[in-house]
Amino acid sequence: MEEILSCAEEKGCDVIVMGSRGLGGLKEFVLGSVSHSVVQKSKMPVFIIKHPSAKGGMTV
């Protein structure tokens, strides 16, 4: 998570776009959510794209 934020700052990015697998529940609690941490600590906008197979995500 820190690497994502420092890289975005070093490169002068305007926005961070990243994916989310949507583990949810206990798995997210134990493993943590990188995307959630980036959103909370970033000084720039962050767009989170849900994986199509993520819980509650779109199905094809």
2-50 fold: Rossmann fold (3.40.50)
Domain ranges in the chain are 2-50
Q: Are 13 and 41 in contact (CB under 8 A)?
A: no
* pLDDT for residue 14: 97
| Residue 52 confidence class, pLDDT cut points 50, 70, 90 | confident
* CB-based contacts of 19, cutoff 8 Å, min separation 6: 35, 48, 49, 50, 51
Mean pLDDT of 26-42: 77
pTM value is: 0.71
Q: Are 49 and 19 in contact (CB under 8 A)?
A: yes
